[in-house]
Amino acid sequence: MIPLQKKPANHLTEAYNHIMAAMAIAFEEAEPGELTLQVALKSALKAAIDRGELSYEEASEIIETIKRDINDAAEFMMESSSEFHDWLSLDIEVIEYRVMRLFLNVAKNTRVALQALGQA
Rounded-to-integer distance, Cα 45 and Cα 64, Å: 12
> Which of 35, 31, 10 lies closest to 23, judged by CA?
35
User: What band does 85 get if pLDDT is binned at 50, 70 and 90?
Assistant: low
Rounded-to-integer distance, Cα 75 and Cα 13, Å: 23
Average the pLDDT over 79-91 and give the result: 67
Average the pLDDT over 99-105 and give the result: 75
Per residue in 30-75, pLDDT tens?
Answer: 888 888 888 888 888 899 899 888 898 998 898 888 888 888 887 7
Question: What backbone phi and psi angles, to 5 degrees, belong to 50?
Answer: -60, -35
Q: What is the pLDDT of residue 35?
A: 83
Angle, vertex CA 13, rays to CA 9 and CA 14, nearest 5: 95
